[in-house]
A and B are shown apart, each in its own frame.
Chain A
Amino acid sequence: MKSVFLAGAAALALMTGTAAAQELKFEPGKDARFNWKSYEALKSQDLKGQEISILGPWLGPDKELIESVIDYFEAATGAKVNYSGSDSFEQQIVIDTEAGSPPNIAAFPQPGLVRDLAAKGQIAPLGQATSDWLRDNYAAGQSWVDLSTFKGKDGKDDLYGFFFKVDVKSLVWYVPENFEDAGYEVPKTMEELKALTDKIVADGGTPWCIGLGSGAATGWPATDWVEDLMLRTQSPADYDAWTSNGMKFDDPKVVAAIEEFGYFARNDKYVAGGAGAVASTDFRDSPKGLFASPPQCYMHRQASFIPAFFPDGTKVGEDVDFFYFPAYGSKDLGQPVLGAGTLFSITKDSPAARAFIEFLKSPIAHEVWMAQKGFLTPYKGVNTDVYGDPTLKKMGDILLGASTFRFDGSDLMPGAIGAGAFWTGMVDYTGGKDAKVVAGEIQKTWDALKK
């Protein structure tokens, strides 16, 4: 028994040994679309023997993607990077920083948590140079700087996070061939979208698939809807006031945006399975109705990550496509885009951690992930030809063509609202509660936080 055990251990050691010596995803110098000069420039730093740890929210296939980017940092500088992912990242980073054993770098999926930790002095500021760099090199640079600038423990404003990897949320997914079969056109304005919704009902179909289920986070897809509709009915200034509670949650403008969501989600004829199924359908399962025969629905509003949950073998761009969730033609609010992103912060300072943030400024760090999948960047210095598939390029164009870019509002609100009362409030609302009552309750929770 013991010898079997030892033999198994030896075999394992061999396996892990080969796994460690992995190769770079794209051979340096080969593909001319990549900015290899920026890769060579990294080699000027010698970090041999230094080790940094990174904690992030990415697991499984996403983990492989981030590791393929990290490989280039390791190969160029000689530093060793330990990436580990966690599906309860938000809890774990708090435990680790509180207890005094944080990773060197944490990749936060939302700015709200960075603000909290920065205020406690648990994140190192990135400095003026980085904030200047972001302003100059990111599209809409100032807004990215603003989104990651917080008050530190000393009460001074500093840049605490570096945005890397952006998701676009204002997308509507559809099956082009189903549209062709039925003779529908992609709507260009919100008025057309509502007309199309009615037309599909008149033709005997169901226009929308909406699912809010997500375990403990049930309700979040609805917050994206409300934020998107807020941007389409009110000015960006109102949106900003709303996310910071300068405008009350039960302001008529916010209630109107919630009711605008209700226009789609609370109409039995508009939603697959009826309005009652909205809150109980899992968000991962809800897009599957697009691919049913006959189609259970024709449109699905969801962020750029959702293709991961389409049926096996679905090709984006051929079997399924997306269009921009349109703005009202009659309102002069431009083309607002709602998005989200991950920001890298230094939770334990070290020269190698600083070097890693510098690495994120090099085009190659962006291009390696762009050339694969699921990565958008506002960095103007990259070659957009490297995008792994044409749909990513199309999403990138929506991002770059935005007249207003706003970050996911629920991620900006305090955790108890943006990851609590707002979610449950939306579940109550789709369940038939009055929008005004729901908004009033969320405001009450927010008031209680301020005491």
Chain B
Amino acid sequence: MDNIAGTRSRLVWAVNLSVVALVVLWTIPTFGLLVSSVRNADQIASSGWWQALFPATQNLIVRAAPAESQTEEAGKFVLAGNALEGSSGTVSAFGTSSREPTAFAPGDVADLGDGQTLSVATDGSYRIESPTRFEGRSPRIFVTARTPPAFTSSNYAKVIGAEGLGRAFLNTMTVTIPATVIPILIAAFAAYALAWMEFPGRALLIAAVVGLLVVPLQMALIPLLKLHNAIGIGKDYLGIWLAHTGFGLPMAIYLLRNYMVGLPREIIESARVDGATDFQIFLKIILPLSFPALASFAIFQFLWTWNDLLVATVFLGNTESQLVMTGVLRELLGSKGGEWEILAASAFLSILVPLIVFFAMQKYLVRGLLAGSVK
């Protein structure tokens, strides 16, 4: 008995451990992104995010204070300042030339030529003395220092302070909410018809819907925009609602039909016997029962339209009055891109609303998905 019980408990442990390991594995990239979002561009370029959490040894090049700040002390001209700019690091070596950046220990006096001398203390404060007045550009100081982790909120400030972000937020909402509601409305009707109404060609229609799932929407961009221009919708909100509706419908109909087909036949048949019309059955019975599936699809569609950039730039246009949030965030990255720190910060800010939506409807999501997939 002990043996069996022991085996079981060890298995439970193994399961728990692997679950923990998987969860950690899954969250590591997100955590890395979070760390990157509070580092500046130079830090990201010079070291990985996992090094950001610990003190690091850095080789810094600091230009000494400008010549205008020089003071005269006892016949000598002095430039002074701190090479670490106030952060609490400790200097382990310094140098005066890029050939030997670690030639001197802190406290040493290095010769800069022309009678100039440089000394750097452990706390990073430096002092350059010269018999003659400083002119032109100041010398460089090479410092090897161990510095504590440093973080910045400037990336978030830059994203939040971006011009037109508030406007873009409203634009995104204007796109997202109707683009979520309209397809659900249409799909619910269609799914009911395909699941419970007998008519010739029904199976073919279902097959067509499943077939449409594999058509990439990129193929439809030009013809659809052509159509919008021809019938006078042009690039406007109505156009993007229709586009999102069209692109979302196959998935919506498929998901909802599969769910509705699994509802007990007896309920619907007894309603029919009682004289209910199809519309009444749909409204009074199917719709309330399908709520989990509706909610789970709503989350999908909301996330997809919220994150969308492609459909928005094609059907809505790029002017400031119509730009969606993803468009503004892309503009922050500049013409040549590559600003990871801004990308990371904006990812965390733009994730906020989908997170709220997700947690608000999350209890339906799991139930809904399960119900839709297992007939």
| Interface residues, chain A, with chain B CB atoms under 8 Å away | 8-9, 11-12, 15-16, 19, 53, 55, 57-63, 82, 84-88, 92, 95-96, 98-101, 175, 177-178, 181-182, 215, 282, 284-285, 288, 291-295, 305, 308-309, 311-312, 318-319
Give the dominant DSSP class at B's interface.
mixed
Shortest C-beta distance, A98 to chain B (Å), equals 5
Q: A294 touching B98 by the CB < 8 A rule?
A: yes
CA gap between A11 and B61 in the complex, in Å = 45
- Please state if A12 and B338 are interface contacts (CB–CB under 8 Å): no
Nearest chain A CB to B32 CB, angstrom units: 17
B318-A84 in contact (CB<8A) = yes
Stretch at the interface among B164-172, B260-268, B367-375: B164-172
Give the residue of A87, A177, A181, A285 whose beta carbon is less than 8 angstroms from that of B45: A285
- Chain A residue contacts of B314, Cβ below 8 A: 92, 95
| Cα–Cα distance between A319 and B222 once the two chains are bound (Å) | 49
Pair A61/B334 contact, Cβ less than 8 Å = yes
Other A-B contacts than A87-B330, A177-B98, 8 sampled, CB-CB below 8 A, are A60-B335, A63-B335, A82-B319, A82-B320, A86-B313, A181-B99, A309-B338, A318-B137
Chain A residues lying within 8 Å of B335, measured Cβ to Cβ, are 57-60, 62-63, 85, 87
Partner of A101, one of B41, B97, B229, B331: B229
Residue contacts A-B, CB under 8 angstroms, 5 given: A82-B319, A87-B337, A98-B226, A177-B140, A308-B334
Question: CB distance A284 to B336 under 8 Å?
Answer: yes
B192 at the interface (CB under 8 A from A): no
Q: Which residue of B lies closest to A284 (CB)?
A: B338
Q: Which residues of B contact A293 (CB under 8 A)?
A: 59-61, 98, 101, 142
Does B215 touch A at the CB level, under 8 Å?
no
A56 to chain B, nearest CB (A): 9
Which one of B63, B97, B317 lies within 8 Å of A319 (CB-CB)? Answer: B63
B222 close to A101 (CB less than 8 A)? no
Contact yes or no, B337 A12, CB < 8 A: no
Q: Is the CB of A99 within 8 A of B142?
A: no
Contact between B167 and A12, CB atoms less than 8 A apart: yes
B interface residues, how many (CB within 8 angstroms): 47
A171 smallest CB distance to B (angstroms): 16
Residues of B334-361 whose CB lies within 8 A of A:
334-338
Partner of A87, one of B42, B61, B167, B333: B333
Distance in Å: Cβ of A40 to nearest Cβ of chain B: 29
Q: In the complex, are the beta carbons of A60 and B229 less than 8 A apart? A: no
Inter-chain contact B42/A60, CB cutoff 8 Å: no
A294 to B59, CA, bound (A): 8
Q: Whole-angstrom distance between the alpha carbons of A11 and B170 in the complex?
A: 12
Contact, CB under 8 Å: A60 / B318: no
Is B101 in contact with A294, judged by CB distance below 8 angstroms? yes
A101 x B338 contact (CB < 8 A):
no
Chain A residues with Cβ below 8 Å from B163 are: 19
Please give me the 9 A-B residue pairs with the lowest Cβ-Cβ distance, nearest first: A84-B318, A99-B225, A60-B334, A284-B338, A293-B59, A181-B97, A12-B166, A99-B226, A100-B229
A182 near B99 (CB under 8 angstroms)? yes
Closest B residue, CB atoms, query A374: B335
Closest to B309 in A: A88
Contacts of B11 on A, CB cut-off 8 Å? none
* Complex interface residues of chain B between 229 and 265 (CB less than 8 A to chain A): 229-230, 234-235
Of residues 260 through 315 on chain B, the ones whose CB sits less than 8 Å from some CB of chain A are 313-314
B30-72 vs A, CB cutoff 8 Å, 1 = contact: the mask equals: 0000000000111001100000000000011101000000000
Residues of A within 8 A of B222 (CB): 95, 98-99
Q: Within 8 Å of chain A (Cβ to Cβ): is B19?
A: no
Q: Would A86 and B337 count as touching, CB distance under 8 A? A: no
Q: A12-B170, A60-B331, A178-B98 are in contact. Are A291 and B337 (CB under 8 A)?
A: no
Within 8 Å of chain A (Cβ to Cβ): is B206?
Answer: no
Contacts of A60 in B (CB 8 A): 331-335
Chain B residues near A178: list those with CB within 8 A.
98
B239 → A minimal CB distance (Å): 10
Q: How far is the CA of A319 from the CA of B313 in the complex (A)?
A: 40
A55 to B314, CA, bound (A): 13
Assess whether A308 is in contact with B336, with CB atoms less than 8 Å apart: yes
The answer for the CA separation of A339 and B101 in the assembled complex, in Å, is 37
Residues of B within 8 Å of A292, CB to CB, are 46, 59
- What is the CA–CA distance of A412 and B291 in the complex, to the nearest angstrom? 57
**Contact among B41, B170, B221 with A95 in the assembled complex (CB-CB below 8 Å):** B221
Tell me the bound Cα distance from A100 to B333 in angstroms: 29
The residue that B338 contacts in the complex, of A282, A291, A318, with Cβ under 8 A, is A282
Q: How far is the CA of A292 from the CA of B144 in the complex (A)?
A: 12
For residue B153, give the distance in angstroms from its CB to the closest CB of chain A. Answer: 16
**Chain B residues closer than 8 Å to A175, beta-carbon distance:** 98
Chain A residues with CB under 8 A of B137: 318
Distance between B372 CB and nearest chain A CB, rounded to angstroms:
31
CA distance A95 to B220 in the complex (A): 11
- CB B55 to nearest CB in A, in angstroms, measures 18
Chain B residues within an 8 Å CB radius of A98: 222, 226
| Docked CA distance A19–B313 (Å) | 22
- Cβ of A410 to closest chain B Cβ, rounded Å: 16
List the B side residues contacting A177 at CB < 8 Å: 98, 140
Q: How far apart are B59's CB and chain A's nearest CB, in angstroms?
A: 4
Chain A, residue nearest B143 (CB): A293
Q: Is the CB of B226 within 8 A of A59?
A: no
**B313 and A11 within 8 A (CB):** no
Enumerate B157-198 residues with CB–CB distance to A below 8 Å: 163-164, 166-167, 170
Q: Contact check: which of B226, B317, B320 meets A100 at CB < 8 Å?
A: B226
| Contact (Cβ within 8 A) B98 A182 | yes
Of B40, B99, B336, the residue contacting A312 (CB under 8 A) is B40
A85 adjacent to B318 (CB under 8 Å): yes
**A225 CB to closest chain B CB, in angstroms?**
18
**Assembled-state Cα–Cα distance A156/B277 (Å):** 68
In the docked arrangement, what's the CA distance between A295 and B61, Å? 10
A-side contacts of B166, CB under 8 Å: 8, 11-12, 15
Check if A312 sits within 8 Å of B41, measured CB to CB: yes
CA distance A125 to B182 in the complex (A): 44
Closest chain A CB from B89 CB (angstroms) = 15
* Interface residue from A58, A92, A288 paired with B313 (Cβ < 8 Å): A92
Chain A contacts of B140 at CB under 8 A? Answer: 177
Check if A86 sits within 8 Å of B318, measured CB to CB: yes
Taken together as a complex, chains A and B put the C-alpha atoms of A92 and B312 apart, in Å, by: 11
Q: Are B226 and A84 in contact, CB atoms less than 8 angstroms apart? A: no
B319 touches A84 (CB 8 A): yes
CB distance from A50 to the nearest CB of B (A): 16
Complex CA–CA separation, A196 to B137 (angstroms): 26
Query: Shortest distance in angstroms between A41's beta carbon and chain B's nearest beta carbon?
Result: 29
Chain A hits for B98, CB < 8 A: 175, 177-178, 181-182, 293-295
Nearest-neighbour CB distance to chain A for B186, whole angstroms, equals 25
What CA separation (Å) do A341 and B215 show in the bound complex? 38
Q: How far is the CB of B33 from chain A (nearest CB, A)?
A: 17
